[in-house]
Amino acid sequence: MGLIGVKRTGTQGFQKVVFENVIDTLPGGLMLEVAKADYPDGYVPEGSLVGRDPATGIGEVLAVTDGAIKPIGLTHRASEVTDGGNTFANGVVISGTVRIKALPTALQAIAEDLATALPRITFV
């Protein structure tokens, strides 16, 4: 049967559930310095590892946990990348439970390192 006159707009399909539960987030979110060219779909995916540069205070998306920037947490939702390079991540999870299989592929390989770097987040 279906709903008559209802049309779907936007992206369609399955979205992975990254977080089982969220206990605490970074108050006020985090401004991320990202290049639009690095994200062809226009969004920083949820579950991305982020940290804050101690010199500038600007957030960055991290690929590893052993760099000069210490990880803060994981993005709670996909964040739209803006043209100017300052993207607002309105939710950065600093405490909760995350599904390893739902993380971005690059982070799945370093799940043990993430558990050490982010002790308040449980990885299942």
Contact status, residue 69 vs residue 89, Cβ threshold 8 Å: no
pLDDT digits (tens, 9 = 90+) for 22-45: 999 998 889 999 988 898 888 999
Each residue's pLDDT tens digit, 37-91: 898 888 999 999 999 999 988 999 999 988 889 999 999 999 999 887 788 988 8
pTM: 0.84
Domains of the chain with bracketed CATH = 19-123 (2.40.300.10)
Compute the distance between CA of residue 96 and CA of residue 58 in angstroms, rounded to an integer. Answer: 24
Residue 105, by phi and psi: left (phi above 0), alpha (psi -120 to 50) or beta? alpha
Largest CA-CA distance found in the chain, in angstroms, rounded: 59
